[in-house]
Amino acid sequence: MAKPEPGRDPEMATRTEKLSVLFAVTSILLLVTFSWMIWADYNREWKKYQIEFGQLEIKATEEQRKAAEGKIGADRLAALGAAVAKGDADVAAKRSEIAAAQKEADKLQAEWYAIDQNYRFTKANIDVKRYDYEEAAHLGHSDAAKKKAKLDALEAQWADLRTKLEDVLARQAAVNARIADLEKTRLDAEKAQKEATAELQRLDAKLKKDQQGFVFKVRNLPVLDLANPSLKVQQIMPASLNDDVIFIQTPKVDRCTTCHLGIDKKGYEKAPQPFTSHPDIDVYLRGPHPIEKIGCTVCHQGRGRATSFVNAVHTPASKESEEAWGKYSGTKEYERWHLWDQPMLAKGHTESQCLKCHQGNVEVPKADRLNAGVMLVERYGCFGCHKIKGWENLRKIGPDLTKIATKTNEDFIYRWIKEPKGFRATRMPQVWDIRVNETADQKARNDVEANAVTAYIVEKSAKDGAYPAPPRGDLGKGKKLFESVGCLGCHRIGDDRRGVEGFTMASFRSHGPNLDGTGSKVNAGWLYSWIRNPKGYWHETKMPNLRLTEGEAGDITAYLMSLKNDAFVARPRPALDVKVRDTIVREYLTTQFTIKDADAKLAAMNDHDRTQFLGEKTIGRYGCFGCHVISGFEKTSPIGVELTEEGSKLVERLDFGFLEHEIPHTLPAWVKQKLLEPRIYDRDKPSKKPEELLRMPKFHVAPEEADAIVTAVLSLTKEQVPLAAQKQLSGDERVVEKGRRLVRDLNCQGCHQIGAKGGSMRALIADQLETSGGDPIQAQALSPPMLWNEKSKIGEGARVHTDWLHGFLQHPENHIRPWLEVRMPTFEFTEEQTNAITQYFAAQDKVPYPYEPKPVTNAAMIAAGKDLFGRWQCVKCHVVGGKLPNQDPANMAPDLAKVPERLRADFLGHWLADPGSIMPGTRMPSNFPENASENAFPEILGGDQKKQIEAVRAYLLTLGPKGASTLD
């Protein structure tokens, strides 16, 4: 059989043909897939948005153009056009003359070109020859002199050329001036038109640039767009900010503006997303937080490098967005990308990131939710159980329990710890009976545990020194005094929300406990002694001393003891179930000892010991000592999880229990649920052993409160912003923040308004005036003073001498308005605190601290001042040297004899000019108008505002302690 010849074998030929067909088919398929690939690479989500925004922008520009045109007016435009036409005609008339001049100019141009080139080339040659000569001279070559001659010759030539060049330039200038003169009318008309329509031309240029016509389409075609497309990814590279990608920090690159095109432009407030303007452009994209420096993701989180909705890890804030966003992830409900550790923060939580850069601030300006959250963390004392860096070694927020037995009784303690909220609105959380699906067995254990804790606390408490019965007081008088002397600046009774803004628990009036039912809680002797001297019972208390007399204290005691909650006191208190107690005691013992030893130990304990043992163990388990000083727990470490980096906790680290599919699988959702129902992650796990159950008590926070706390928790991030990118407090700012810390801790704003916040007392007084039929406008005059006016930036620091303020803080009984019912309490400040406060006020007002220069005066000024003082009848309202004017207290004004020692001279000037701008609502009239013609006494110092004020001030500063001028 002959071997088949390749190519001639018919079988092979048919096979090759078949392969060719296959080749054709696969080649076409390959072309299709390649086209698909190019299209997939080209067809990006963001391009759609850029085209759409381009159209929006054209529309906006057209509108702007119309407005600009309207502003100039059609008549003016026509006139400008006519002027140009006239200029054209004028030029046409002089055509031949201009042409001749132009010809001359062209000739001169050619001449200039040749000379200028020669001039520049000669200069280059000079540099070469100079080098040659210097080199030869340095090396001592014999031809140095020859080289020098050459150089000199060139220099001379160059000087000659320069003369020629200057000559040509002069002639050129002359010809050009002649041409300009000939064309003057036209040039002037054109200039005028250009100036008037500059805005129009700018907008026209922009419109031309933005048109999405043929050029736009070709530039952005697939493949061609590699050259210079107009649709392109926009990015911001903020300085010194990094993304933490675990092994390294990579510089942040934020491409958010690729789609969010209107974010930094005003006028798109109502445009649909992603084009909407930022809600506060001036603060967050310009001004203190320029977008080109800080970008987007340092505040909003998410993946800055992403250019698609899903990859940027957008987070929905509501169920509705979750459903509406399904289209982006291609699912029914939006599914958030889980491959980035810092998902974008849902609307509202963004404030949590402020603290990364604004450290050391008591409050971050404008971050209301964060501030409220931080305040709640302080108020609820989260740091008692959870270690948080920066919150260590703070005073425990609950009262000291080492003397509790002298304050209240055992039955009350039991009922109270069992359900604090059942008695009154309180910060104390509930430890027992709050498990989800609590069993009867667990309930029985709860009763036993609470009983044991009560027994333990009472046993450890000092019991000696029972308080004597207080003097008999008048209930009515006590109520009136309680409501007017200032107690209500820090305390509330029942659901009183007067003067409360935002969350009740974060308000100034929740600084101290709600006093509802006090009569059912404490014994009268204790209460009397407490309000007379709070620090006597508990040296760390924040409650100041109101300097109540025995009678006053007796009255207030009578009133507070009349506030009862009988239903609560009547609640049953089950007796301690010994069997259950022993079971629990044995559980504790067996975890510590062998079973045999545990049983032996249990047997060795008597009834009392067992209860005490259980009480101690229970307090240890639930961490009561995180908030209270309890004997035996002075050095125990807190029971909670450390929260220092909680905001960066990975969601994988959280135990969602069986709620996995019920709440969003996110950190904020988990924390919120935990706050609302702390033990819920134990749900459906009935086989958990008692020691394995969750222990966090329930604070009964409202969902909105929980949201604020979540924001505060999210601010505890491990992300480190480089120092260079952080806000650095100046020396003065640091002093101010230190003062603000004290102001916050002592709740000064319960009575005083400082900035926009505080002054709850004023709202209360206004309310009291209203209900008693008085005029609420008088409230300002009867309230504690405003200590800082945010608008005029003038406050206590600018107002009073440091020395006076220092003395006043030490001895507030030396007040300047003795007729007020409300009292500045004695805080028993340390010298350090007094200094901090005085310096704080001075730094806040940017006035000299502690001394200030004295104004220059002369006798004539003082005399004029005295004259004005008399004419304006200042003493009609002002106390002088302790002598009260014949006025209603609301109209009385501070003692003028105290002015020299109290008020700063600079302040007096501002105050006399416009008191209302410093203390809104003050009764002090504004007597010195700016306009001299309106002055009541134009004959004095020519009615000049400044001079008159200086004169009055000069006179006031001479007043002695009796009120008479020391110069008289």
Partner 1 sequence: MVDALKGAINFLTAPEIFITLASVLFFLSMRYKAFWAPKVALALGILGAIFLAVSMLDHNFALIVKKPDNVPIVAMLFLVGFFVWLSMHQAHQNDERIARGEPPNEASNGENEKTWVWPDLVYTELLCMIIGMIVLVVWGLAFHAPIEEAANPARTPNPSKAPWYFLGLQEMLVYYDPWLAGVVFPSLIIVGLMAIPYIDMNPKGNGYYTFKERKVEITIFMFGFLIQWVLLVILGTFLRGPNWNFFGPYEYWDLHKLLALNNVNLSEYVWVKALGVGLPKNMFVREIPGILATLVYVVVLPGLLARTWLKKYFEKLGPWRYAVFVMLLLLQIALPIKMMLRWLFDLKYIVALPEIFFNI
Tell me which residues touch partner 1 (CB under 8 A).
1, 3-4, 6, 11-12, 15-16, 19, 22-23, 26-27, 29-30, 33-34, 36-37, 40, 245-247, 338-341, 650, 652
Select 12 or 967, whichever has its Cβ closest to partner 1: 12
Select 23 or 121, whichever has its Cβ closest to partner 1: 23
Nearest to 695, CA basis, from 679, 712, 681: 679
Select 33 or 814, whichever has its Cβ closest to partner 1: 33
Select 40 or 139, whichever has its Cβ closest to partner 1: 40
Q: Is 374:320 a contact under the CB 8 Å cutoff?
A: no
In the complex, the smallest distance separating the C-beta of residue 244 from partner 1, rounded to whole angstroms, is 9
Nearest to 182, CA basis, from 69, 93, 63: 93
Euclidean distance between CA atoms 350 and 299, whole angstroms: 6
Nearest to 875, CA basis, from 850, 895, 904: 895
Select 540 or 662, whichever has its Cβ closest to partner 1: 662
φ, ψ at 814 (rounded to 5°): -85, 55
Q: Is 358:314 a contact under the CB 8 Å cutoff?
A: no
Select 20 or 437, whichever has its Cβ closest to partner 1: 20
Select 208 or 689, whichever has its Cβ closest to partner 1: 689
Q: SS3 of 55, please?
A: helix
Half-sphere exposure of 576 (CA within 13 A, CB side): 22
In the complex, the smallest distance separating the C-beta of residue 28 from partner 1, rounded to whole angstroms, is 10
Select 540 or 645, whichever has its Cβ closest to partner 1: 645
Cα 718–chain centre separation: 19
Q: Kindly report the CA angle at 345 between 343 and 348, in degrees rounded to 5? A: 170
In the complex, the smallest distance separating the C-beta of residue 676 from partner 1, rounded to whole angstroms, is 23
Q: SS3 of 30, please?
A: helix
Cα 131–chain centre separation: 65
In the complex, the smallest distance separating the C-beta of residue 523 from partner 1, rounded to whole angstroms, is 53
Identity of the amino acid at 705: E
In the complex, the smallest distance separating the C-beta of residue 317 from partner 1, rounded to whole angstroms, is 24
Q: SS3 of 356, please?
A: helix
In the complex, the smallest distance separating the C-beta of residue 638 from partner 1, rounded to whole angstroms, is 24
In the complex, the smallest distance separating the C-beta of residue 246 from partner 1, rounded to whole angstroms, is 5
In the complex, the smallest distance separating the C-beta of residue 789 from partner 1, rounded to whole angstroms, is 51
In the complex, the smallest distance separating the C-beta of residue 315 from partner 1, rounded to whole angstroms, is 16
Q: Is 573:561 a contact under the CB 8 Å cutoff?
A: no
Select 129 or 649, whichever has its Cβ closest to partner 1: 649
Matching residue, tokens 């003016």: 76
Select 30 or 114, whichever has its Cβ closest to partner 1: 30
Q: Tell me the torsion sign for CA atoms 547, 551, 552, 554.
A: positive
Cα 967–chain centre separation: 52
Q: SS3 of 643, please?
A: coil
Select 305 or 740, whichever has its Cβ closest to partner 1: 305
In the complex, the smallest distance separating the C-beta of residue 339 from partner 1, rounded to whole angstroms, is 4
Nearest to 315, CA basis, from 335, 341, 295, 297: 335
In the complex, the smallest distance separating the C-beta of residue 650 from partner 1, rounded to whole angstroms, is 6
Per-residue HEC secondary structure of 284-329 comes to: HCCCCCCHHHHCCHHHHCCCCCCCCCCCCCCCCCCHHHHHHCHHHH
